Amino acid sequence: MSLFQAIILGLVQGLTEFFPVSSSAHLRLAKMALGVEDGEHLLYFDLLCHLGTLLALIFYLRKDVWDVLKDVRKMGLYFLALIPLIPAYFLLKPLRVAASEPQYLGFALMITGALLFTATKKREINPSKKWPAVLCIGVMQTMALIPGISRSGSTITAGRLCGWEWREAAKFSYLLAIPTILGGELLETLKGRPIGNIAPICYVGGFLASLALGLVAVRFIFWIYETGKVKPFAWYCLSLGIFAWAIFNG
């Protein structure tokens, strides 16, 4: 991997992590376009790029993060939303591995598009953060274990179906992303997979690129959710899904 390729992949991660379009799908497609062979040797590079966007998210939502940490009840709601993810990660591993094959990537992106279309049709009805709604969001988050299904897209759709406004659903989704991503990175690191033969400057370039663009993208996506103009992302995922299906199944 060259420094140029590392920066491009970092920029892709920084841009797509916060948009409801599945960053994992875009990274896979970007690697293919750049001629970068995907595999476990890129695990730590991918983790560093995710760390960059995670830091951008924490910085942007730092006041909200602090509010959650000060309130035991709020912390309990986020913990409740994480519960469905734990058994799904371990018990559904064969399904996750099978669904991660490239030929299913297009279908997963089309599912993301369908979820976003559903979210745009739903109006707010007595928004509430009672535990059934939070648990529903947690269940929907498990879908994002499959590459191509957007974590933010699925959880925000669940919030909308539970009667939440766009911004309320988005803020809960992105705050929930912090422990989710941290836990995922910790689990992948503990597996002790070998580090690939990648120059240290590539790690730095990918990390800084994802952090820099992530700081911009996270502000922009919250503006999008304030306006509620999410349907273009639904059409984009549907179109990209058809394109990916043609590539991997043609």
Compute the mean pLDDT over every residue in the chain, rounded to the nearest whole number.
Answer: 85
Nearest to 141 by CA among 98, 190, 117, 174: 174
Q: Which residues contact 15 (CB under 8 A, 6 or more apart)?
A: 26, 213, 217
Q: Which of 70-74, 113-117, 121-125, 244-248 has maximum average pLDDT?
A: 113-117
Q: Residue 193 has what pLDDT?
A: 58
Write down the pTM of the prediction: 0.86
Question: Could you give the angle at which helices 166-190 and 151-161 cross, rounded to 10 degrees?
Answer: 140
Best CA proximity match to 89, nearest among 194, 20, 186, 195: 186
pLDDT band of residue 71 (cuts 50, 70, 90) is confident
Q: Which residues, at least 6 apart from 97, have a Cβ–Cβ distance to it below 8 Å?
A: none
User: 18-28: per-residue pLDDT in tens?
Assistant: 999 988 889 88
Alpha-carbon span 108 to 113, nearest angstrom: 9
Residue 118: C-alpha distances to residues 54, 144, 158, 220, 230 (Å): 27, 17, 10, 22, 11
